[in-house]
Amino acid sequence: MNKIVSKFGGSSVANARQIEKVRQIVISDPARRLVVVSAPGKDETDLEKVTDHLFNIATDGGHFRLKGKTLTAAQSFESVMAKFASLVKDLGIDGADILRDLEADLNSPIEGQKRIDFFASRGEHYSAKVIQRYFRATGIDARLKLPEEIGFVVSERFGDAKVLPATYANLEQSLDDDGVAIIPGYYGLTLKGDIAVLSRGGSDLTGGEVAYAVKADLYENWTDTNGVYQVDPRQIADAAVIPELTYKEIRLLSSKGFNVFHFDAMVSCKKRQIPINVRNTNNPSAPGTMIVSAREPHETAVGIARMDGLAFIYIEKDMIGETIGFTKDLLDIFKDYNISTHHYPSDRDDIAVIVDQLDLRGKTDGLLDDIRRSLNPDVLEVNYDLSLLSPVGIGMKDTPGVLARAAGALYQESINIEIVDQGPSQMCIHFGIHECNAAKGLETLYRTLLKK
């Protein structure tokens, strides 16, 4: 029988109504035998997610203080307890022991970074316990598979733990039984026996790793949107859901408005060519977006990414193009400052390096001094407030005229292109324009390249 791993995000398990939707989805296909769950997210009654409250308890109010909010650890404790109490009550399950254990965990004396990870993991841990009990109460043979019991082992990088290779064989073995496995996402166990969490949004990663380990036929990522949209639907209201995308296309689209799931979650699935289906728990009849290794393009561009808040460092010097190692020496300086570089279009006598504006904070003077000192440029300047609009699609490869149409449309709107860079795969063109033109530019490119 086919094996589907279904991961349900925080909004899908935020309250009893949502959990009932999850149940309906799970029972509607017998192949859905591995269910990964997040901690309860926010519904209309919550101001914060359970995981944030848990961080706040562990840090004695520090987590929200850092965000400029005044929520004490005691208030967060109340909120978490109230959330789980209402889940138990509204689902009509007998969960007194679950609530007792949760309360004991939230009073744990554990100290230091281990404390933060242990607390942060409790949202997923108890979400899985509640859901498993509810499923059993409704007649599903649901089996709780806790990371600490199934050998989901992770590195000791607390707060950003990485899955260790031993996990795969362990999971393959421990998840190979009947029934529906309910697996809490987001955390694992270190080899020393401590609980460590993956990066934020890490339940997606758990789902991807489980899919890889059990050689699943499909990894479903259930969330609260109908799939991956052509452009951020908050910016272009009539943008459509993309039915099918390759892993490479979604990587290229990865930017504002496309963060429907954790991109690292794709890495393992890609290795085994396991398709990923992004679906909407609130609209299960919608087919969502399929992310696959290969597809036949039926269009030129499939989506447009938009990235704001960029800057480019412009360098002019005679003979750059002929100086062997110039680009390497330049990029090494960015590396020394731990600044990640997005693109570096270059020409005979000049080069621009595009970076995140925020990454320059506190480093600009030192960076420019070092560039001056080691490379002695004729011109060196920083240009701020750049946006990149990047049409993406495998259909763009070998199609003449895409760049001309896009640039022509921007010209018609009097939008100046400051930088243009075509990705070497020919599946993406990056237009760098001033941020003040970004909204209009996106609308223009959407109309020209995507709108039917």
Q: Which residues bind ligand ASP (CB under 6 A)?
A: 10, 38-39, 49, 51, 123, 185-186, 200-204
Would you say 200 or 363 has its CB closer to ligand ASP? Answer: 200
Q: Which residues lie closer than 8 Å to 206 by C-beta, 6 or more apart?
A: 7, 36, 147, 152, 183, 184, 185, 186, 198
Q: Which residues lie closer than 8 Å to 72 by C-beta, 6 or more apart?
A: 61
Q: What's the rounded Cα separation, in Å, for the pair 283 and 263?
A: 23
Quote the least distance from Cβ 203 to ligand ASP, whole Å.
3
- Hey, what amino acid is at 338? N
Contact assessment for residue 84 and residue 128, using Cβ atoms and an 8 Å cutoff: no
Q: What is the DSSP letter of 360?
A: G
Q: What's the rounded Cα separation, in Å, for the pair 371 and 328?
A: 12
Would you say 48 or 244 has its CB closer to ligand ASP? Answer: 48
**Paired sense of beta strands 379-392 and 429-434, if any:** antiparallel
Quote the least distance from Cβ 51 to ligand ASP, whole Å.
4
Would you say 38 or 387 has its CB closer to ligand ASP? Answer: 38
Quote the least distance from Cβ 130 to ligand ASP, whole Å.
14
Quote the least distance from Cβ 145 to ligand ASP, whole Å.
17
Quote the least distance from Cβ 311 to ligand ASP, whole Å.
29
Q: Which residues lie closer than 8 Å to 92 by C-beta, 6 or more apart?
A: 137
Quote the least distance from Cβ 199 to ligand ASP, whole Å.
8
- Dihedral of the alpha carbons of 221, 223, 225, 231, in degrees to the nearest 10: -60
Contact assessment for residue 43 and residue 18, using Cβ atoms and an 8 Å cutoff: yes
Would you say 63 or 343 has its CB closer to ligand ASP? Answer: 63
- Hey, what amino acid is at 95? G
Would you say 87 or 239 has its CB closer to ligand ASP? Answer: 87
Would you say 10 or 391 has its CB closer to ligand ASP? Answer: 10
Quote the least distance from Cβ 106 to ligand ASP, whole Å.
16
Would you say 10 or 147 has its CB closer to ligand ASP? Answer: 10
**SS3 annotation, 110-128:** CCHHHHHHHHHHHHHHHHH
Q: Which residues lie closer than 8 Å to 408 by C-beta, 6 or more apart?
A: none
Q: What's the rounded Cα separation, in Å, for the pair 449 and 398?
A: 16
Q: Which residues lie closer than 8 Å to 60 by C-beta, 6 or more apart?
A: 73
How many other CB atoms are found less than 10 A from the CB of residue 34?
Answer: 25
Contact assessment for residue 342 and residue 355, using Cβ atoms and an 8 Å cutoff: yes
Quote the least distance from Cβ 184 to ligand ASP, whole Å.
10
Quote the least distance from Cβ 49 to ligand ASP, whole Å.
5
Quote the least distance from Cβ 333 to ligand ASP, whole Å.
34
| Cβ-proximal residue to ligand ASP, closest one | 203
Would you say 10 or 208 has its CB closer to ligand ASP? Answer: 10
Q: In what order do the strands lie in the sheet with 303-316?
A: 341-343, 350-356, 303-316, 379-392, 429-434, 419-422
Would you say 197 or 438 has its CB closer to ligand ASP? Answer: 197
Would you say 209 or 421 has its CB closer to ligand ASP? Answer: 209
Give the three-class secondary structure for 450.
helix
Would you say 73 or 265 has its CB closer to ligand ASP? Answer: 265
Contact assessment for residue 371 and residue 333, using Cβ atoms and an 8 Å cutoff: yes
Quote the least distance from Cβ 107 to ligand ASP, whole Å.
21
Lookup result for tokens 């003040």: 436
Rg (CA), the chain: 24
